[in-house]
Each structure stands twice: as structure tokens, then as C-alpha cells.
Structure 1
Amino acid sequence: MAILITGGARSGKSRFAEQYAAKLGTRGVYIATCQPYDEEMKERIRLHIQDRECSGFCWETREEPLEVALLLRQLTIRLTGEQQAGDALWTAPPVLLDCVTLWLTNWMLQSEGEQNGAARLNGQIEAFVEAVRQYPYPLLLVTNEVGDGIVPEYSLGRRFRDEAGRLNQRLAEVCDRVFLVTAGIPVELKSIAFRWDEL
């Protein structure tokens, strides 16, 4: 079961995702995609870790800025092994990836200026979406809704906005549930989505 959680900056997405995960199991795997480029970002990461540790929920944190598709395949193998070796009461720990747009940023910066950079980025996006589609256990994906603001001034910013919007659409297609969080209030979008067959 894959769940996409989107919204603006400081909308409450991550808090909602962590609370949702805590309802699904007694422990979880937290995939952190952020790379600390400066002291301010290092402090943000430290506070996030501290908040998770104080929550009372047991998180295994995996820092993976790029190879998320590979990590999801590895977790599938590991958790399937746990399930087969466990008892009938075994439940898969939810995996929470925070966040998709930082992962996309990492790959865009990695491939920027490369001769085949666009093709490499597209390949990574395809692999990631497919890994999400195939993941057999609870998976929560936090992403940012970046297309609601001003048009970025620079070409890389506009490209990022476009890539993020397209990626969010692709993920929404393969996820079972999609939440929009605004001002700390989550709304499940798929259940209220317009359907063409209703015309």
C-alpha cells in the first residue's frame, strides 16, 4: 500500500506522515533524502532526528539521497525474509520517505551539465516510480506541491517545478491514497476526485 502525502512548505506533511506510520505498526523505516549542504540544513536534520526520537515510535533511519529505488528493493527482500521467518502476528514496518522533491533535487543536481543528463534523470524517475509501484508493504511518500507559487526566475528552478509536478502526478497514479495537507489539515484526494464516468 503506497500513500502519497503532498502540500506546501510547513503545511504539516511530515508530522501527518509520521502519525500515519505510527498507526500502521510499532516500528518504522525512515528514508531521509536530504543532503546537508550548510549549517542551517544540518541543524534542521538534527531537529528532525530529535523529534523522531522523542515521538515514542521506533524509527530505523536510512539516509539515502539518490538510490531510493535500490533501497526499496533491498527492503522488500529483507522484510519478506522477516515475514517468512516470523510468526503469524508479524506486521511489516511502514516505510516513510521524506522527501520525494529533495530526492528529485539531488538527481537534478547530479545530472546537471552531463551530456546525457536528461536521459539519466528520466531513467532514475522511471526506476523510482516502478519501485514504488512494486513495493509490497506500507510505504508513505512525502512530497512538496511546488507549482502553486510564483514562476521561478531561473531556468533550473522552472525545470525543477515542472519535473516535480510531473513526478507527483506519476506517483499519485500508482499510490493507493493521496493526501493534501494544508495548515495541518489532511484531505484524502482520491476518494473525492472527479471521475469522467460520472459525467
Structure 2
Amino acid sequence: MPRTLILGGARSGKSGRAEALVAGEPSVRYVATGRRVATDADWSERIDRHRDRRPAHWSTVEITHHRELATTLRSGPTTLVDDLGTWLAGALDDLAAWDSPRGTVAPAVDELLAAVTDHPAPLVMVTPEVGMSVVPESRAGLLFRDEIGFLNARLAALCDHVELVVAGRSLVLTDHERSPR
């Protein structure tokens, strides 16, 4: 089944592009990885805006622990995952890995990649591209940038189609020789 990766910066239009790619599907499962934070009204409003723009016939799965994503992807219809940056931040939280050595989340990433490979229907994944921005000042920022970069590269190797969204415009990245699965 085809797998698509949509990369882009903050507010670039990557979620809208991913939604457009699956809009014609009769059954879509939207997997939301952004966890609600009771004390963050702005974040909750952003989650609500994403939810409100989805068609009523789409089902939604809200991930509350990083392991749920791999489990969810092992079955199901056409699926849109939005987004892998919030999934990774959640995994770092769940594993108390923000101050741990790089690679601490590798087993969780490996589990996710296996589930992506095995997903039985079309799959569209949204992820932030953070490697083109300023160098983070904090250790946590550097860790996140490195880990999402590693994750994105590994996912791109598994995907049939990869796009980069910048300023609302989508650029199809050239095909490459894919790694063995």
C-alpha cells in the first residue's frame, strides 16, 4: 500500500496538504498525536481547529501514549497521522528521555517504522522539518532536532512519495533508491 510523508515547517500548510491527499477516500482514520494539556488553552484551541475542519465521516484516534501509534497502525483503513513531531515529543516525555543520551527513543522509533511498513492501507504521515531552522539553544531542542531528523530520514526511505511543504506550496522530492524493508 502506498505510504506518503509530508514534511514542512510550522504553519507551512503540511496538515492541509495531507488532508487533501486523502479527501476522496471513502473511509479515513485520522490519528492525532498532539496530546491535550489542561493548562494550555491555545494548544487545545489548535487541536479543536484541526478537528473541526475534518469531514464528519472520518474517524479519529487520539494518541495518549507513544506506543499506541504503532499499535494503531498495525490495522485499519486509509490513515492520516498528524503529526510525528508531537508523537516524538510525547515519546521523549513517556520515556523520560529529554536528559538521556541520544538514541534512547530508538526502540520506539523502530517499533513505529515496523508498523508503518506493515500498515495494510494507504498511509499519509505529517512531520515537521526542523533541520533548516536556527540551531536550538537548549539540550532538549538539540535532542529533538536530531531525533526528528533521524526519524524523518528513515520514514522517507520507507515511503513511496515524499513532499516538502513551504509557504503553502508543495514540492515533490525526487525519487531515490529505497532501502530494503
Q: Place the TM-score, normalised by the shorter chain, in its bin.
A: 0.7 to 0.9
CA distance in structure 1 between the partners assigned to 2:58 and 2:152 by the alignment = 25
Maintained 8 Å contact 1:180/1:186: yes
- 1:146 maps to a residue whose letter is V
Within-5 A mapping of 1:1-199? 1-23=2-24, 25-37=25-37, 38-53=40-55, 58-65=57-64, 66=66, 67-73=68-74, 76=75, 79=76, 93-112=77-96, 121-191=105-175
Tell me, which stretches of 5 or more residues in structure 2 are unaligned? Answer: none
Tell me, which stretches of 5 or more residues in structure 1 are unaligned? Answer: 80-92
- 1:68 maps to a residue whose letter is L
CA distance in structure 2 between the partners assigned to 1:40 and 1:49 by the alignment = 14
Higher helix share: 1
CA distance in structure 2 between the partners assigned to 1:174 and 1:147 by the alignment = 20
- 1:49 to 1:2, Cα distance in 2 relative to 1, 3 A: same
CA distance in structure 1 between the partners assigned to 2:70 and 2:102 by the alignment = 18
**How far did 1:173 drift?**
0.3
* Structure with max Cα Rg: 1
**How far did 1:136 drift?**
2.2
- 1:26 to 1:163, Cα distance in 2 relative to 1, 3 A: same
Maintained 8 Å contact 2:98/2:140: no
- 1:9 maps to a residue whose letter is A
- 1:161 maps to a residue whose letter is R
**How far did 1:114 drift?**
8.9
- 1:34 maps to a residue whose letter is G
CA distance in structure 1 between the partners assigned to 2:44 and 2:32 by the alignment = 13
Maintained 8 Å contact 1:111/1:118: no
The CA RMSD measured in Å over matched residues stands at 2.0
CA distance in structure 2 between the partners assigned to 1:113 and 1:60 by the alignment = 31
- 2:116 maps to a residue whose letter is V
Maintained 8 Å contact 1:143/1:168: yes
Size of the aligned set, in residue pairs, is 172
Maintained 8 Å contact 2:102/2:143: no
- 1:13 maps to a residue whose letter is K
- 1:136 maps to a residue whose letter is P
Overall identity of the aligned pairs, in %: 38
CA distance in structure 2 between the partners assigned to 1:180 and 1:135 by the alignment = 22
State the TM-score, normalizing by the size of structure 1. Answer: 0.80
CA distance in structure 2 between the partners assigned to 1:189 and 1:146 by the alignment = 17
**How far did 1:116 drift?**
7.8
